[in-house]
């Protein structure tokens, strides 16, 4: 098990300018899969509906647990009361879907433009349909946000509803695939941490408690507001790198163990088999990626832990590490693990970053969908950053799957070039 080294010199530059990102509505795609009796009702435009339909890949005859209440021209013109319209939509929805136990009203750019007060609507509807259905609200607007912030705002909305319990417990925060949650639960139980909870839970009535004895361990680096809300409820955050790759997973688990007074020897005994499997599985990918260059555009807020994994475990060289926001407290452990002299850019000026990317001609570029196709047309190999949220990538057993997300595009480019 490797200790976290003291922070080393990293060049951090702040840029502001034109951006190219998805909005927070995108998070509904993985949130609705996680909370199985929740429904996400976006109050927005047809553009919002098309975005969700495209991002989720839902076929026309499917019945997903999200939808869009379309704001029509008469709503914008003030010829109809949008609150009355919303009440009617919710009533029809709950009549049709009696399995819903948690309903999120999700704000969008259009609903914010017309100043529709979804917090008041959610409180009113929650009183009306209690106790069968709880109604909460959050903003998925793309105004000054990036797409992973949708998850942060959703979980932040859940925090005030969590029960109070001051007994010692570990709370893992962030959406994880069921298989990843099961793997982590087994690791923590093997360490002797008896009370392990996950936020969000898979069912509305199973949401975890929070209190003074709770230690908060983030599985994702973009949950700043959620962690602050949990701290106000008494929880104590645990500083750690994020569980990407063999090294990151071990350090993440070790940080949780230290918070509960579990000795390093016990951590090594529990983690060594999984870490060894992960490093063996990564060996073939390392041989393909060693020395390759990568340019990370600011998009998902996963860029720093991803750059650490690609460089330290796969031998890649990060030309530039862009991130939409840099919460230095949450990412201090990741910054300490980056190679000296790493170039980190916070914020986005897409034209300048495109110029630097074109000049560098990296072997692979991690970026959003809006940039990927143009860059591919210019001969650059790309990886969609949103795919990192749709795929199970955390933990030992998924380390090779994460690496494969980068070897496959390079392999495809090689095959097409023959």
Q: Which residues are annotated binding-site positions for [4Fe-4S] cluster?
A: 23, 48, 109
- φ and ψ at 95, to 5 degrees? -65, -40
Beta carbons of 26 and 222 less than 8 angstroms apart: no
HEC sequence for the chain: CCCCCCCCCCEEEEEECCCCCCCHHHHHHHHHHHCCCEEEEEEECHHHHHHHHHHHCCCCCCCCCEEEEECCHHHHCCCCCHHHHHHHHHHHHHHHCCCCCEEEEEECHHHHHCCCCHHHHHHHHHHHHCCCCEEEEEECCCCCCCCCHHHHHHHHHHHHHCCECCCCEEEEECCCCHHHHHHHHHHHHHHCCCCEEEECCCCHHHCCCECCCEEEEECCCCCHHHHHHHHHCCCEECCCCCCEHHHHHHHHHHHHHHHCCCCHHHHHHHHHHHHHHHHHHHHHHHHHHCCCEEEECCCCCCHHHHHHHHHHCCCCEEEEEEECCCCCCCCHHHHHHCCCCCEEEEEECHHHHHHHHHHHCCCEEEECHHHHHHHHHCCCCEEECCHHHHCCCECCCCHHHHHHHHHHHHHHHHHHHC
Beta carbons of 141 and 24 less than 8 angstroms apart: yes
Q: Using alpha carbons, list the distances in angstroms from residue 195 to 32, 168, 210, 315.
A: 25, 7, 12, 37
Q: Which residues are annotated as a binding site?
A: 23, 48, 109
**Looking only at Cα atoms, what is the longest distance across the chain?**
69
Which of left, alpha, beta for 57 (phi over 0: left; psi -120 to 50: alpha)? left
**Angle 224-232/149-158 helices, nearest 10 degrees?**
20
- At a CB cut-off of 8 Å and minimum separation 6, what does 280 contact? none
């Amino acid at each position: 098990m490797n200790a976290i080294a003291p922070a080393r010199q990293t060049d951090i530059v702040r840029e502001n300018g034109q951006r190219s990102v998805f909005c927070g509505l995108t998070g509904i795609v993985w949130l609705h899969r996680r909370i199985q009796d929740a429904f996400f009702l976006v109050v927005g435009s047809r553009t919002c509906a098309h975005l969700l339909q495209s991002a989720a890949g839902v076929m026309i005859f499917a019945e997903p647990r999200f939808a869009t209440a379309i704001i029509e021209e008469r709503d914008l013109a003030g010829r109809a009361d949008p609150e009355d319209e919303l009440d009617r939509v919710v009533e029809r929805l709950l009549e049709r879907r009696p399995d819903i136990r948690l309903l999120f009203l999700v704000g969008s750019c259009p609903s914010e433009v017309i100043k529709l007060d979804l917090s008041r609507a959610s409180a009113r509807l929650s009183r009306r349909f209690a106790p069968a259905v709880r109604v909460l609200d959050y903003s998925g607007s793309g105004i000054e946000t990036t797409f992973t912030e949708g998850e942060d705002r959703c979980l932040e909305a859940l925090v005030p509803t969590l029960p109070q319990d001051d007994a010692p417990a570990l709370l893992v925060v962030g959406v994880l695939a069921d298989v990843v949650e099961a793997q982590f639960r087994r690791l923590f139980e093997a360490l002797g941490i008896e009370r392990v909870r996950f936020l969000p839970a898979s069912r509305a009535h199973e949401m975890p408690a929070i209190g003074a004895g709770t230690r908060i361990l983030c599985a994702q680096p973009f949950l700043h507001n959620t962690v602050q809300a949990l701290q106000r409820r008494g929880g104590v955050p645990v500083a750690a790198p994020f569980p990407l790759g063999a090294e990151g997973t071990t350090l993440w688990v070790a940080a949780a163990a230290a918070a509960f007074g579990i000795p390093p020897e016990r951590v090594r005994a529990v983690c060594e088999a999984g870490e060894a499997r992960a490093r063996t599985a990564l060996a073939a990918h390392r041989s393909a990626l060693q020395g390759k260059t990568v340019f990370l555009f600011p998009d998902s807020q996963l860029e720093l832990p991803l750059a650490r994994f690609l460089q330290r475990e796969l031998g890649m060289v990060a030309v530039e590490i862009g991130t939409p926001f840099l919460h230095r407290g949450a990412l201090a452990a990741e910054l300490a693990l980056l190679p000296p002299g790493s170039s980190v850019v916070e914020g986005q000026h897409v034209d300048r970053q495109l110029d630097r990317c074109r000049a560098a001609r990296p072997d692979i570029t991690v970026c959003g969908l809006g940039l990927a196709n143009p860059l591919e047309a210019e001969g650059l190999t790309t990886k969609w950053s949103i795919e990192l949220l749709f795929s199970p990538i955390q933990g030992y057993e998924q380390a090779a799957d994460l690496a494969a997300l980068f070897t496959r595009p390079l392999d495809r480019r090689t095959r097409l070039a023959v």
